[in-house]
Amino acid sequence: MAYIPVGFENKYNLELHYTDRGAGEPVVMIHGYPFSGTAWERQEEALIAAGYRVITYDRRGFGESSKPSAGYDYDTFALDLRTVIETLGLKKVTLIGHSMGTGEIARYIGRYGTENIVRAVMISPIPPYLLKTAGNETGVEQEIFDDIKAAIKKDRYAYVRSFLDIFYNAKTLFGLKVSEEKLSADFNLAVTSGAAAFYQCVDTWLEDFRPDIVKINIPLLVIHGDADKILPIDATAKVLTQTVGELVVIEGGSHGIPWTHYEKVNEAILKFMGSAFSTRRVDNRQPQFHPNVQ
């Protein structure tokens, strides 16, 4: 197994578990909550087959990475991403994030710029700002997040299963796009998350990324399901792409579209990455790439 050191807690090293497969232009993939780099298996194989080098890693607190008692904030997550890129000596990187992993992309660019990043893909994104406020009427009410934290405190194992049912729209997609075995595998993975990470990460979903996204000057593709019940498209992707990026909407798509609608997700990613546009620097709201995925 391969690990990258990212700090210490007391006398113990903190490390991120990662995989590095394939050859070609590097693609770094950042998973969603509460999973690990293994969540990308359907995209990883497609990208490797298309001639890309694919690096996945487990966010601190999840998968096979260290599970410290603190450090669950986007400044730290972005620094972890930077450490992965620098440790592996990656150049001309494509960043692909799903859900919580889109926050790393936004904060990385906000803090460190895009000198070594050529393009990005955000799938089911959190940015720009999820919380409903007086100036952000399309956001989600604070009480929703308070209820999530209360449910986790009461019984996080019970919460995981209810979360997965919503994540994959199991009421409509079970047996069609997601199996009992997949739900069981994801349950088994999710409950290995550090308890501190599982609880504290809920607060990170309320991060205000608006100052970060205005610094995005590389091609950005946003992919979102129109039936996403975790991060509603009207509060996230549609607002985000008013400022930057081009939006591909997956009809009937759950929050977990990298699994439930992987064919359309992979098609959009590969078409975007293969386009001449995807290597150009852009200004916010400059006409961008149009993948035309149905």
Catalytically annotated residue among 36, 65, 66, 99? 99
The residue among 12, 16, 21 whose CA lies nearest residue 4 is 16
Instruction: Report, as ranges of residue numbers, the positions in the chain whose pLDDT lies below 50.
Output: 286-290, 292-294
The pLDDT, as a whole number, for residue 280 is 54
With H, G, I as helix, E, B as strand and everything else as coil, classify residue 111. helix
Does a structural domain hold residue 67?
Answer: yes
Q: How many domains does the chain have?
A: 1
Does a structural domain hold residue 285?
Answer: no
> How far apart are the C-alpha atoms of 123 and 293, rounded to whole Å?
14
Dihedral (Cα; 73, 219, 262, 78), 10-degree rounding: -20
228 among known catalytic residues = yes
Domain with 23, as residue range(s), is: 2-279
The residue among 240, 250, 262 whose CA lies nearest residue 120 is 240
The pLDDT, as a whole number, for residue 281 is 54
> How far apart are the C-alpha atoms of 144 and 2, rounded to whole Å?
38
CATH number for the domain that contains residue 100 = 3.40.50.1820
Catalytically annotated residue among 80, 255, 261, 278? 255
The pLDDT, as a whole number, for residue 195 is 97
For 80, the token pair is 């972890």
The pLDDT, as a whole number, for residue 11 is 87
31 among known catalytic residues = no
Catalytically annotated residue among 228, 254, 261, 278? 228
254 among known catalytic residues = no
Does a structural domain hold residue 289?
Answer: no
Query: Which burial class, exposed, middle or buried, applies to 263 when counting CB atoms under 10 A from its CB (0-12, 13-18, 19+)?
Result: exposed
Number of residues that this document lists for the chain: 294
Does a structural domain hold residue 284?
Answer: no
Does a structural domain hold residue 130?
Answer: yes
